[in-house]
């Protein structure tokens, strides 16, 4: 995966030197959410693109694995102390059968 640094608002740049992680993981138990890329509940491999939430600047892109899992690691968690960085994820169905799925205001977690 190529990581591009993009200049954001007021010169802030998202980077891959942080401790944050955004990932599409399978559910841990019956009550946890399923973060994988799925179509009709079946995990699939599709393009997932990460953008900064505020300026919609592309940060990185990955292709989910066949089991629908994906990860963006090393993300910046705060742009300054106490100011969280939020991201937008867009998963594209490259077969053209389904519209893209968008999740916005996603905060990276520190594992």
pLDDT tens-digit readout, 63-107? 999 999 999 999 989 888 998 899 999 999 999 999 999 999 999
Q: Using CB atoms within 10 Å of the CB of residue 37, give its burial: 0 to 12 exposed, 13 to 18 middle, 19+ buried.
A: buried
The CATH classification number of 9-26+34-106 equals: 2.60.40
Report yes or no: 100 and 92 within 8 Å, Cβ to Cβ.
yes
Predicted local confidence at residue 29, as pLDDT? 79
Average pLDDT over residues 22-48: 86
Model pTM score = 0.80
The domain segmentation of the chain, as residue ranges, is 9-26+34-106
Q: What does the longest C-alpha to C-alpha distance in the chain come to?
A: 43
DSSP label at residue 16: S
- Cα 64 from chain centre: 11
């Amino acid at each position: 995966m190529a990581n591009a640094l993009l200049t954001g608002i007021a010169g802030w740049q998202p980077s891959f030197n942080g401790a944050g992680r955004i990932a599409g993981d399978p559910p841990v138990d019956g009550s946890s959410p399923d973060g994988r890329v799925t179509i009709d509940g079946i995990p699939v491999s599709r393009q997932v693109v990460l953008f900064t939430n505020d300026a919609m600047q592309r940060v990185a892109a990955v292709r989910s694995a066949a089991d629908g899992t994906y990860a963006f690691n090393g993300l910046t968690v705060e742009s300054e102390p106490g100011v969280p960085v939020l991201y937008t994820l867009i998963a594209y169905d490259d077969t053209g059968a389904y519209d893209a799925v968008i999740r916005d205001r996603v905060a990276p977690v520190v594992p």
